Every structure is written in structure tokens, then in C-alpha cells.
Amino acid sequence: MSSKPNSPSRRDFLRQSLVAVPAVSLLGTSAIAQTQSGTAAAPAAASGASYTPRYFTAPEWEFLQAAVERLIPPNDDGPSAVEAGVPEFLDRQMDAAYGHGSLWYMQGPFVPDAPATLGYQLRYTPREFYRKGIAAIDDWCKKQHNNAFAALPPDQRDAILHQLEKGEIKLDDVPATTFFSQLLTNTKEGYFADPMYGGNKQMAAWKMIGFPGARADFADWVEQPGKVYPFGPVSIEGAKS
């Protein structure tokens, strides 16, 4: 989570995290892939500060912006998660099939302590999970630091995120490591998804990693490892950088 302007760590981290992700996931993401007719996230019509969340409350919205900004901070490589519209992406997904867990098996038994290799094992849909998790983290922060997460300075937010990642914070009803993993995964999805879903504003994340987007003529470059792709990305809706 380095924010040093000239450090390649953020670019390298994001590149490495996408090694096993097929191009279709960058265009649609695993969350978006679960949308279905009538429940898909609405197309992005607003951007940045002008967006009004539909699902998240004001305190939840402040938490999301403060958290994802530390997971992917701004530097010379590219925009931060907030600048790229990740909170908007997350909010839109909460009203989509993904947020409602519509395509998940949501019957018991539930085994919260099961190994991560067995997948998601909680009784909550993603929208319920975010609501409970954010409330639990803010409650913990108020008890430990006398302030909600979003009101804490960046270094404290970083430390808390690391504690969540390592499971060093005990949250009521919500496993800390599972919440952190879900937040980080969805943040990366929103950062790299097609702009029509609310994130990756101006396709800045795609430009940062040299991804061509929905261009139909990229096949000729697949067998040219190490060669810089000379054309900018194209979105599913046809927008060009």
C-alpha cells in the first residue's frame, strides 16, 4: 500500500495480482460476471464527487472512500481508487445480482472458520456483509481511537487495514480477514473493470498497465511479449482513451 510517488510498488502489485486473471474479467470482473437480466448494475452516468450512493449510508460511504484510498493510493503511475471511481463501482454492485448474492448458494450449514480454499462460508450476502463489516470496524475504531475509521489519519488507517488483513482485530459476527479480502478483491475489480460499471474512470487503470480493453484487433500483439502496445484502450461502449 505504498504511496511513494516514484515507487513502482503499486504498479507491480497490481500487475502481479492480475497475472491469472483473464481479459474478460478485466472487462467484466468476477462481481460483474454475476449480474443477470434485470439485476445488472446501472450504467455509470455520474462520476467522482457528483455521484450519490444508492445503497451505502453516509458513514458507510465515508468508510469506503477512506479505505480504498489507502488500498490503492495516488501516485505518478495512475489514479487512486477513489479517483478511479471504485466507491461508485462498489455501490452499484450492491444493487446488482452480486450484491444480493442472487447466483450464490446461500443455504446452511455456514462454517465461518472454514479454510479460505473452500470459498465464501458466511450467511450474509455481499451487501449485508459490507453493512455489518463497516459498522463493526467503525465501532472498533471508536473504542480504540475515539473516532470512526474515516476520521483517522492515513497512517492509522493503514495500520488498521494491516491488522484486519492479519486477523489481529476481533469483529462481532464478521471475520476480519474475510472482510479485508473481500474489500481488496472488490477494490481491484472496480479499479480495472470496464468504465460502464462505474470504476476505471477514463480507462486510466487500463492505460497504466497497457491493457487494450475491448479492442478487437489485440490478438496480433499477444505473441509479442515485452513490446509496448502502441494504441490506447477502448471500452465496451466504444469510448477511446
Q: Answer for the pair 114, 121: CB distance below 8 angstroms, yes or no.
A: yes
pLDDT in tens, 117-126: 777 788 899 9
Looking at 8-12, 65-69, 160-164, which range is the least confident one?
8-12
Quick one: pLDDT at residue 40?
46
Closest CA to 34 of 86, 97, 88, 92: 97
143 backbone dihedrals φ, ψ, rounded to 5°: -75, -40
Neighbours of 143 (CB within 10 A): 8
Looking at 65-69, 120-124, 190-194, 225-229, which range is the least confident one?
225-229
Residue with cell string 452516468: 45
DSSP code string of 57-90: -HHHHHHHHHHHHHHS--BTTB--TTTTTHHHHH
Domain boundaries of the chain, sorted by first residue: 9-206
Q: For the whole model, what pTM was predicted?
A: 0.80
Average pLDDT, the chain: 82
Q: Which residues have C-beta within 8 Å of that of residue 17, sequence separation ≥ 6?
A: 188
Confidence band for 231, pLDDT divided at 50, 70 and 90 = confident
Per-residue pLDDT at 42 exceeds 50: no
Reduce the DSSP state of residue 4 to 3 states and report it: coil
pLDDT in tens, 17-38: 555 454 445 555 566 555 544 4
